[in-house]
Chains A and B, each alone.
Chain A
Amino acid sequence: MTAPALVVPNEAKGLGSAASPLRLELVALSKQYPAVKANDRVSLAVRPGEIHAVLGENGAGKSTLMKMIYGAVRPDEGEIRWNGTPVQIASPAEARALGIAMVYQHFSLFDTLTAAENVWLGLDRSRSLAEVIAQVRKVAGEYGLEVDPLRPVHTLSVGEKQRVEIVRALMTAPKLLILDEPTSVLTPQAVQILFVTLRKLAGEGCSILYISHKLDEIRALCHVCTVLRGGKVTGTVDPRQESNASLSRLMIGAEPPPLQHRAAAPGAVVLAVQGLTLSKADPFGTSLEAVSFDVRAGEVLGIAGVSGNGQQELMAAISGEDPRAPAGSIRLFGGDIAQQSPRPRRRAGLHFVPEERLGRGAVPTLSLAQNTLLTRTRAVGRGGWLRIGDVKALAESLIRRFNVKAGGPGSAAKSLSGGNLQKFIVGREIDAAPKLLVVSQPTWGVDVGAAAQIRGELLALRDAGCAVLVVSEELDELFEISDRLVVIAQGRVSPSVPVASATVAQIGEWMSGLWPAATAGGGTA
């Protein structure tokens, strides 16, 4: 251990003993992974009742830090202090015993069990289910978390599932609650409700670590913000005193260049979805009901909505992975494609980027070169022979053109980071010169720089006359790149509104399924 690391704790200790003792203090924590130093001497202090944001891009080391606090990963160096005493947290169970609770971004609930049974599973076995149900009701009532403990989890909306997770975390009366990207699945209104709960919790002395990359939320909610970049702390600031620009400078070192968004010049209708009704293929899916909208050449149509409202099903019907759509309900350039398989649709100019990169958009164990063959057949010769040289050359040109960081065309898809693989897959489809590009979650889990690049590419494609359909859960993103917006909720799609006249509040309201029923038909509003 080096000198500066010793200075920090002394200072902090002095501060802590003067005021109330710190709830949690991290002192120069480091974690080295084989390829990357995930955390480099990270220090952080959380007071009781403080809502403390941890801000950083993907790969900045936020999750490693949280895992160390929650006992899932052991730090190589440094010290964790809990209420002033150094502790070794060897497992999540020990973390819970100390009073640390965590709500993960991806829920860990059993779909077939009720909300109360899920909560019960996480508790020690001495309590009866009836007691747990009563307690769930009590905790839920206290914090305004509306949850019916007797409903099976698969019937709950995503926001409700999150409430079950939070209730479960609160059952142990934690002293520190860690929330990992909690708003990524919520409507703007649900976010406001969550914030009320969190402020109430903090008011009662519970400390909250709030992990996010959404600057507005952090500025609205948090008292202190620690910014991470490349595993190091680049600043600890009061977010209420900062602007989005100054926070993003701390987070990525620079402000992302603003997108050049020229006015759209929509042309002829490319994709027309008319009265698409489709029963769900899997019991926990969503059925589509009379979905109608169209996408024109040279425009970007955004589909907003909370995940799990039929986006997956709609995408599968448009891409051809689910060819059960009623005849005539999906038309491309006027031709009925509703029951075609993906390959004829692709030949007609429809290219699709799915939200899962590994396993759907790319085969994890195959090389980038081989992965081009999924949707590109230029290198397939007569009689089905593969021209290996051409396959490689295509992958090489994609890597160069879209600035993909990879070992080369021979590297396995799974060896790339999420953002780089996404650039490769989006690039593969853009490079095919599509007439209609359908993109699901274009920048999910992609860092700010790569996200800006992908959005720029999508707009460039639009300007070149391609029709673009984007499904995203990030409203900011949709407002940034779309020309028109529709909202999907419970398998139904709203009429469209031009982005210029739409507001976040209006779209947020629509996301819970409440839109004026009058202008059905999906024409341009």
Chain B
Amino acid sequence: MSLASPLIALGLTVVIGTLLFVLLGKDPLRGLAVFFVEPLKSAYALTELAVKATPLLLIALGLAVCFRSNVWNIGAEGQFILGAIFASGIAMQATPATGGWFFVPVIVGGVLGGMCWAGIVALLRDRFNANEILVSLMLVYVAEQVLNWLVYGPWKDPAGYNFPQTITFLKSTQVPRLFAGLRINVGAPLALLATGLFWVFMFRTYAGFQLQVGGLAPAAARYAGFSSRKALWTALLVSGGMAGLAGGLEVAGPLGQLTPHVPAGYGFAAIIVAFVGRLHPVGIVFSAVLMSMFYIGGELAQSRLGLPKSLTGVFQGLLLFSLLACDTLIAYRVRWARGAPRASKVAN
């Protein structure tokens, strides 16, 4: 039943989405087609779907490790930004003489950037018992300010007509594309490989088992002697690294430069992706593709239907709330109370 819940939630999202289109005075069938058919129509559309799904999948996998170990990292967006910044810093060092291998250090830089940012969260939690939800979220806004400072300041392209952006990175830093003329690059197969690694780590290694026990039953983990500190650091470094990897792939791939618009909300959307995918690698692949459809659908709705792009966020929110409602209503029954509840209830 818990597996059916995301499917019911998707159904509800479609129903409410249809109502929304009707209320906005648009043809609901056409509206739905924009979200659920257009992104699958051609080879080009499919590769664009993969381009958007890749960062979502990578970040969501990392978050699933966190959430399964009961570590509530909701600052993947900030770790994504730091990944992008580190990767950009390295990419800007390239000269026309560097070879095509240069994208490797760029991406590794991205991973390290994300890990550093998540490491701050782990350190504050470990040393000072600071709440990781608040710390990781607040660090997102710090990351945004760091990004802004860089692109408005020291890293601004001198030949960029004062636009807040870095230079366009050299060809040699670019992540190799899979097909000529399409934006899809090696990031996509890398994300699928990460999916497999996630499964092996979580379900076939002792370390993964320890993380899971820590998340499911902290008292059992203490009883067994599994270190909660180790779990905290592992979970945060893995998820930070994954978010940083996504950020690095983004600037060294489709974007090709660092701008204030690098953060596209992938870090937050990935939280929904992870939960809709039931924190399971296979589920996360499907939910990442679905969320990517919402991104593309939102853009298409803007150009085809004249609706605002924020429709993407509306659909994301609908899906999350439907999922939460389904999870709750599957486990609990609503009882409509007649009259006031008895005061003496407390005594039991």
Q: C-beta contact mask, B171-211 vs A, less than 8 Å → 1, else 0?
A: 00000000000000000000000000000000011110100
B213 near A363 with CB under 8 A, answer: yes
Residues of B near A360 (CB, < 8 A) are 217, 219-220, 222-223
- B346 contacts the other chain (CB 8 A): yes
Residues of A near B342 (CB, < 8 A) are 91, 93
Residues of A near B225 (CB, < 8 A) are 320, 341-343, 345-346
Q: Identify the B interface with A (CB < 8 A).
A: 204-207, 209, 212-213, 216-217, 219-220, 222-225, 227, 342-348
Nearest 9 interchain pairs by C-beta: A122-B347, A342-B225, A343-B225, A374-B224, A384-B206, A360-B219, A93-B342, A363-B217, A380-B206
CA of A375 to CA of B210, assembled, Å: 11
A363 near B204 with CB under 8 A, answer: no
CA of A168 to CA of B213, assembled, Å: 41
A contact face: mostly helix, strand, loop, or mixed: loop
Residues of A near B217 (CB, < 8 A) are 359-360, 363-364
CA of A361 to CA of B223, assembled, Å: 7
Given contacts A319-B223, A321-B223, A363-B217, whether A384 and B207 have CB atoms under 8 Å apart is: yes
A363 near B220 with CB under 8 A, answer: yes
Residues of A near B207 (CB, < 8 A) are 384
CA of A93 to CA of B343, assembled, Å: 9
B contact face: mostly helix, strand, loop, or mixed: helix
Given contacts A356-B219, A363-B220, whether A385 and B345 have CB atoms under 8 Å apart is: no
CA of A384 to CA of B226, assembled, Å: 14
B213 near A108 with CB under 8 A, answer: no
- A352 contacts the other chain (CB 8 A): yes
**Which of A365-373, A466-474, A489-497 lies at the interface?**
A365-373
Given contacts A93-B344, A342-B225, whether A386 and B219 have CB atoms under 8 Å apart is: no
11 contacts between A and B (CB under 8 A): A93-B342, A93-B345, A341-B225, A356-B219, A359-B217, A360-B220, A361-B223, A363-B220, A375-B224, A386-B204, A386-B205
CA of A362 to CA of B224, assembled, Å: 9
A363 near B216 with CB under 8 A, answer: yes
CA of A413 to CA of B205, assembled, Å: 20
CB neighbors of B among A495-521 (8 A): none
- A296 contacts the other chain (CB 8 A): no
Given contacts A108-B347, A385-B204, A386-B204, whether A361 and B220 have CB atoms under 8 Å apart is: yes
CB neighbors of B among A369-393 (8 A): 370, 373-375, 377, 380, 384-386, 388
- Contact with A354, one of B206, B209, B212, B223 (Cβ below 8 angstroms): B223
A171 nearest CB across to chain B (Å): 10
CA of A373 to CA of B207, assembled, Å: 11
CA of A478 to CA of B347, assembled, Å: 35
B348 near A108 with CB under 8 A, answer: yes
A362 near B220 with CB under 8 A, answer: yes
Residues of B near A342 (CB, < 8 A) are 222-225
- A262 contacts the other chain (CB 8 A): no
- Whose C-beta in chain B lies nearest to the C-beta of A370? B209
A425 nearest CB across to chain B (Å): 10
CA of A123 to CA of B343, assembled, Å: 8
A122 near B220 with CB under 8 A, answer: no
CA of A362 to CA of B206, assembled, Å: 16
Given contacts A343-B225, A385-B205, whether A359 and B344 have CB atoms under 8 Å apart is: no
CA of A362 to CA of B219, assembled, Å: 9
Q: C-beta contact mask, A148-173 vs B, less than 8 Å → 1, else 0?
A: 00000000000000000000100000
Q: C-beta contact mask, A303-320 vs B, less than 8 Å → 1, else 0?
A: 000000000000000011
Residues of A near B205 (CB, < 8 A) are 384-386
- Whose C-beta in chain B lies nearest to the C-beta of A94? B342
A309 nearest CB across to chain B (Å): 21
CA of A52 to CA of B196, assembled, Å: 63
Q: C-beta contact mask, A72-91 vs B, less than 8 Å → 1, else 0?
A: 00000000000000000001
B206 near A374 with CB under 8 A, answer: no
CA of A146 to CA of B205, assembled, Å: 57
CA of A346 to CA of B209, assembled, Å: 18
- Contact with A125, one of B219, B224, B227, B343 (Cβ below 8 angstroms): B343
Interface centre among A319, A342, A373, A374 (most CB of B within 10 A): A374
- A282 contacts the other chain (CB 8 A): no
Beyond A342-B222, A342-B225, A354-B223, 12 extra complex contacts between A and B, CB < 8 Å: A91-B342, A93-B342, A124-B343, A321-B223, A341-B225, A356-B219, A359-B220, A363-B213, A363-B217, A363-B220, A364-B216, A374-B213
- A96 contacts the other chain (CB 8 A): yes
